Structures are given as C-alpha cells and as structure tokens.
Amino acid sequence: MGDLITEAVSGTLYYLDKPAFARVQECNASAEQRTSLFADMARLNTLYMIANAGSGHIGSSFSSMDVVAWLYLNEMKGEDLYFSSKGHDAPGLYAVLTALDVLPFDSIHKLRKIDGLPGHPDVGVAGMVTNTGSLGMGISKAKGMAFANRMLDKPARIYVMTGDGELQEGQIWESLISAANNGDSEVTVIVDHNKIQSDYSVERTSSLGDLEAKFNSFGWHTQSIDGHDIDAMRDALTAARQDEKRPSVIIANTIKGKGVSFMEGVSVDSDVERFQFHSGAPQAEDYTLGAQELISRILDGHKAAGLPEPEFETIERPAAPQGGNPVKLFPSYTAALLDQAKRNDKLVALDADLVLDMGLEPFRDTHPDRFVECGIAEMDMVSQAGGMALKGLLPVVHSFSCFLSTRPNEQIYNNATEHTKIVYVGGLSGALPGGPGHSHQSVREISALGSIPKMAMVEPAHPDEVAPLLDWCLNTHDGPSFLRLVSIPYETAYEADASWTPAAGQGRVARKGDGSAVLIASGLVGTAQALKAADRLAGEGVDATVISLPFLNIVDGEWLAKTIGDAKLVATIDNHYRRYGQGDAVATALAEAGALSGCKFVRLGLDLTPPSGTNDQVLKAVGLDDETIAAAVQAVL
C-alpha cells in the first residue's frame, strides 16, 4: 500500500521501442516462448518508466508481468476485460499496453506526469477499465460488470488481478459470497501471491492461512499454480473457462520483483527484513545492474527465438538539481510519539501495513508489546482501537489519510459516540505528492470527519509544530482527534515557535502585513504557498498578512476576528476540496463573530479530482501554486 517518492534516476536509461515488441509477437517461436520474452521486454520498459519518473511500484509490476503478458497476448478475445484491483502494478500494465498500441508508445516517457500516465489506474486512460482506491474493490466491480454484460447480452470474460496483502481487506470476502451464489462463471480472479506486502512478508504482517481452502469454502473454483510457469497459467485459465457454473480464482504463486535477481523477494529473509523494492525508483547503481540483467536475458531470448538482436533505445538523464532546505514532518512525529509513549504506558500504536511510511519502526522496535500491526484492514483496525479505548488504553491509529478518513468512517463515528479518546494519524495528506494520483491524494478528510461530535482535526505547518499538536491531541483535547500530516519533504519560509502551545481554534501570524489582505492557510504545503504568494503580492503593492491555522474544523471566531482586524479581504487556502474544508469553517466562525461586514471573502482550494503529475504540475493544476493564489487575491481586490 505504501508509495515511496524518491528521485528520478540519473545517467543512461534503457528501453525497447514498439517495433521490437511487434517482431517478437510475429516470430515463429511458441506462444509460451514469445510470452516469456515479451514479459522481460516489458519489465525493462517498466523499470525505465519508474526510474524516469522517480517513483512507482517495481515489485508488484514485475511479479504480475508473466500473467498479464499471457492474458493480453493469448487469452483475451473480443470484449474480454482485464484490470488490476490493487493498482500498484500500473507501470507494468502500461508497459504491456504501450507495446500493443493500446496506449501511445511515447507515453512511456510520461509516467506520473500531468499529461501522461497516472501513478494508479484511471478510466481516463485508454485500456484502464476501472479506477483503484482503497484496496478490495475489484471483485465487486467485476461482478457488476458481469451482471451488466448479461443484461445487455454482451458475453465476455472478466479477469481481475488482486494482491495477496489486499486479501486482508474485508470487502474481498464480502464479494465472494454472491459471486458463487449467482454463478458468475465469467469472472476469473488471479491472486498475485508474491508473499510480500508494502514492507514485510504477508505471513509476518497478517497471515492469510490456507488460501485454497478459504476460496473453496466460498464455492469458488480454486486452483494454485506457479505464476511464472506459462504452461501452468495456460492450463489453469483453460480449466477456469470450462467451469460454467462457478467463478474461478487462480492463486498465482509469484516472486515479488521477479526478473531481476537482487530485487526478488526470495533474495531477502522476508520474515525479518524489509523488502526494498515495493515502491520508489531504484538507486542509479541498482537501476543499471537491473537493466543489464534484463538486457542480457532479452538478448538470450531473441537468440533462442531465432530473432536478430534488438536495438535498445537510451536517454541520458541528468542528475536532479540540488539545493533548498526542505523540511520533513515524519521524523518529528516519530520522536514525538516515542516521547509520549515514555510518559504514558497506556499509549498503543496501531498500523495498517504502512510502518515505514508512517515512521513507526522505532516505536515498534522500542515498544513491541504496545504495537499492533493490523495489515490492510482499516475498519478492523479502527474498531480494535475502539475496544482498546473502552478498556482504558490510549490508541494512536495510523494509515494514509486517503484510507483512514474514508474506509473506516463509520467505525470512527461509532468510536466517537462511545466518548473515548483515540488519535488518528493520517499520512500522505493533501494533493502532494502528485505522482500517485487521486487514489492517494487525500483532499476530503475535513469533509469526511469534521462534523463528528468533539472531533478535532489539526495539521502542522512545520516540524516544530508536530510535537505540540500531538501533545494537545493526547493530553488536552477531550475527544477524538485527527492529525493530518504531509509526507513529502517540502521547503517553507515559515518560522515555527518551538515553545508554542496550541489553543483550540487559534493559530499564528506567519507574516505580518498592513492588514489590508489576509491569507489563511494550514499545513506544510498550504502555509508555504501562502507565504510565497504574499511575497509575490508584496512585489505588486499588496502587503498581505499570512495566518497559519493548524485547526482544520475548529475556529475560534473571536480570536480570528481580532487577528484579521479591518482587513478588506480574507482568502483561505485549502489543500483540500473547497466544499466543507477549512475555508468553510473560517467563514462560519467569522460570520458568527460579525467580522465579515465590509470584508471580501474568497475560498481557494480544489473543486475537481486532482490529477497525477509532478508536484509543481499538480499545484498549478489545482490552483494552489503561489502565482495562482496571488492572481486570485488580486482579482478580488
């Protein structure tokens, strides 16, 4: 589930062009031989795309590649469909679709760019059948498609790829029941059983037990094969087609990172060590070694198939420019959580397969008896926290905000009705990083959770504000809280006060202007952009005040009215959808305080689904870059 954002690889990058794939498809080798060679060529292009983009998922793209290549080259006919429920393997699927001319071939150079291929599947891209989001939706969507096909008299087979960690999600098991009851025999689920999830092995994280027995007990036609054995895959798919009464599941036992020896999951003790190639671009040296290994095998494959050696295309990518002084929130969060744990032996931390991304490895290692790894099961995790809180513990619950604020929304509300204290900590918050795309860009937490009674939502604008806000949530606030954290390093001119003590609904003046215009923002990205916009406005004769307001759904109207004074304009900047975001809370508080008379008020933020792209591209597209903010303020003034 993790999505590590690194830097693009510098140096020589290698890929194969579309004619090279066409020659393999047209050669006289066996279907099995063509498919294996095609798959390795697609792996090389996948590695190229991820290295060029600076992020993406190598491990699952490689483990699923042999299956995907066989399906597209040999299995699917007419209106048959394939899609991935997990979505992380999108780069591998893109490599196949560009080779087959479903996608423009030049798009391999635009992975995670705003005019190119998004980090996770999106139906706006040719060949993408459905969007992904929280894991576990795919089988349900396949059932809906099967129903529609029958109703419309359009017979077709539907192939769905799931991850094995994905099987920890409850919706997976809900979806199996009616598929068997309805005899959805046109649905074939293929489990990419590579045994490793975001950080560690499935067995260590949350064991799945006997998968064959489980699927069989739900009435599915179940087979287990070597997912890299092309002959076995062909035979299993044939058997699935021949069963006309039951949906089928093929448990494809694969190797994460298959195709590059040192990236393969079997090269580490996966019960102990963290897998290094789940997400993110490889280091330059690793890229070169991996590409050379693939190229060597591709050359051998061409020779065996009686084909001339292909010509490998190259680009020279310069080293990423260095400079600036970006700050990171999560190291401060890790330290603050450990400090709180020293002071309160009832504090426990729960995680949903994101121990690395959420900065929890030090807590887990220091307090193993107070750390609960729940796997990819957010609803279960949140309800476990509810039970712990009822028995007097102080749970701190972790996941990406896009999953934590939405999938267990009912469970969070239920916990709140029990009047217990639970702190929810959401990473990967806001529109950045832009690369993963809308499935991971969390821009609706305030609207999803902000109206829950006594829920306080807060977001630090600087590492020095993390510890005070966590302390406020744990020790001052009487009720549940949500700590919203930006995951990426980000440069900011904001100068935090380490001695600052939070007061509910109040913030700090980050830049003192003449009072004519006031910009109100929250968080690392929002406050940084507000300060940059204020500097730009100063060059245009507008001396704007900037207020950093860490409270997202609670606003002290009297304090804010006093702070803005006789401002002619107040503009709120939401790294979130405008509707029901912080801007609405600010407007309500100022209106109730009678502070909007004679003052113009404008809310800036997102109105549409954010795109996938580089960080600068995405900020510009959603109107949160300093230039667009300054222009919006000038337009109103």
pLDDT digit string (tens) for 439-456?
A: 999 999 999 999 999 999
User: What is the percent of the chain with per-residue pLDDT over 70, rounded to a whole number?
Assistant: 97
Within 10 angstroms of residue 82's Cβ, the number of other Cβ atoms is: 21
Quick one: pLDDT band at residue 294, thresholds 50, 70, 90?
Answer: very high
The answer to whether residue 281 scores a pLDDT higher than 90 is no
Q: How many helices (H) and strands (E) does the chain have?
A: 23, 18
pLDDT digit string (tens) for 564-583?
A: 999 999 999 999 999 999 99
Among the ranges given (21-25, 117-121, 268-272, 451-455), the one the predictor scored with the smallest mean pLDDT: 268-272
Mean pLDDT of the chain: 95
Average of per-residue pLDDT across 366-390: 97
The answer to whether residue 320 scores a pLDDT higher than 90 is no
| Residue ranges per structural domain of the chain | 11-317, 330-484, 508-636
Q: How far apart are CA 38 and CA 134, in angstroms?
A: 31
* Cis upstream peptide for 362 (omega within 30°): no
Identical fold, 11-317 and 330-484? yes
Quick one: pLDDT band at residue 265, thresholds 50, 70, 90?
Answer: confident
Do the Cβ atoms of 522 and 559 come closer than 8 Å? Answer: no
For the domain covering 508-636, report its CATH number. Answer: 3.40.50.920
Residue carrying the six token digits 């916009």: 533
User: What is the percent of the chain with per-residue pLDDT over 90, rounded to a whole number?
Assistant: 91
Query: In terms of Cα–Cα distance, which of 551, 611, 517, 13 is closest to 312?
Result: 13
pLDDT digit string (tens) for 118-167?
A: 999 999 999 999 999 889 999 999 999 999 999 999 999 999 999 999 99
Q: What angle do CA 445, 448, 453 make, to 5 degrees?
A: 110
Residue carrying the six token digits 């048959």: 80
Do the Cβ atoms of 433 and 615 come closer than 8 Å? Answer: yes
Residue 489 is predicted with a pLDDT of 96
Residue 322 is predicted with a pLDDT of 66
Query: In terms of Cα–Cα distance, which of 614, 588, 582 is closest to 459?
Result: 582
Quick one: pLDDT band at residue 3, thresholds 50, 70, 90?
Answer: low
Q: How far apart are CA 342 and CA 556, in angstroms?
A: 32
Helical spans, DSSP H, in 128-263: 138-151, 170-181, 202-206, 211-217, 230-242
Q: Is 83 in a helix, a strand, or coil?
A: strand
Quick one: pLDDT band at residue 222, thresholds 50, 70, 90?
Answer: very high
Phi/psi for 595 (5° steps) reads -105, 5
The answer to whether residue 617 scores a pLDDT higher than 90 is yes
Q: Which residue has the higher pLDDT, 109 or 323?
A: 109
Residue carrying the six token digits 């996938």: 612
The answer to whether residue 6 scores a pLDDT higher than 60 is no
Distance spanning both ends of the chain, measured CA to CA: 44
Beta bridge partners of 317: 11
Among the ranges given (224-233, 245-254, 277-286, 371-380), the one the predictor scored with the smallest mean pLDDT: 277-286
Residues 102, 4, 170, 228: is their CA dihedral positive or negative? Answer: positive
Residue 324 is predicted with a pLDDT of 79
Fold of the domain built from segment(s) 11-317 = Rossmann fold (3.40.50)
For domain 330-484, the CATH superfamily is Thiamin diphosphate (ThDP)-binding fold, Pyr/PP domains (3.40.50.970)
pLDDT digit string (tens) for 503-547?
A: 999 999 999 999 899 999 999 999 999 999 999 999 999 999 999
Residue carrying the six token digits 């809180």: 389
